[in-house]
A and B are shown apart, each in its own frame.
Chain A
């Protein structure tokens, strides 16, 4: 197995400079593309012209793996397309440019909010009863997968809300999406919008 050392030179494609460039290896903090977490001080090659990290050698894989496990827990839910449409529409209304990044944030926000208010937990339980009936009227709506990685903190809060609401994972997410629909998508001027826009702006930083 080849090991690279700080200062070693190589070549790689730099998509920023749009050409093959000379690179130099050194230790860098490299973020995950999904926006969750950073692999700290891993060996990586940067473009000698623009300084962007352009290549990562195999020796960094163990450190990436550790950083990723710390940073993320998978959350996967299958649901009828209108649920996902609602979630995406809410994200779009808050910040059209943030796109799917806000999906997770929105769910995390509503999970966090519901945990501190028993009446909201009760509302989630009511939603669950409602969407069962509603869902049946969406003839043959395709099923879509919502797949994301959440931080351990959000994962723990989600588990706690599962316990508190006594709903299963999928039903809970659907109920949350219904809350999101009634508070962000349906009202002409959602009350929460200023706060959510501030949150989106902070995320975009």
Chain B
């Protein structure tokens, strides 16, 4: 999926609260969104400032057929 579509969908999910955090039986302390260290609103602001240069995507290293999108901006990941 192209960057614009990804950005639209992730922001929509953040606004509507339809996202879920992955877990492996535990709460990952480093997931700032899950622990509430950053709010969805603050995150949307960062994502809004991303362009195609801050985006990369690849197939999940363990789950074939699952596409993983990574946005990096302002030290956030």
Chain A residues in contact with chain B, CB under 8 A?
1-3, 10, 12-13, 15-16, 18-20, 30-34, 39, 44-45, 52-62, 64-65, 68, 149
Contact = CB atoms under 8 A, between A and B. Distances in A.
Nearest to B26: A33
Contacts of A65: 35-36
Given A18-B62, A18-B63, A56-B34, A68 B29 contact: yes
Contact of A62 (B19, B23, B26, B36): B36
Nearest to A67: B27
Contacts of A33: 26-30
Interface of B: 16-30, 33-36, 40, 60, 62-63, 66
Given A15-B24, A33-B26, A64 B18 contact: no
B27 A55 contact: no
Q: Which of A33, A45, A53, A65 has the most CB of B within 10 A?
A: A33
Given A30-B27, A32-B27, A33-B29, A64 B22 contact: no
Contacts of B21: 55-58
Contacts of B23: 30, 44, 53-56
Nearest to B37: A65
Contacts of B25: 16, 30-31, 52-53
A45 B20 CA distance: 9
B13 to A, nearest CB: 9
11 contacts: A2-B18, A10-B20, A30-B26, A33-B30, A54-B22, A55-B20, A55-B22, A61-B33, A64-B27, A64-B35, A65-B35
Contacts of B36: 61-62, 64-65
A183 to B, nearest CB: 30
B74 to A, nearest CB: 21
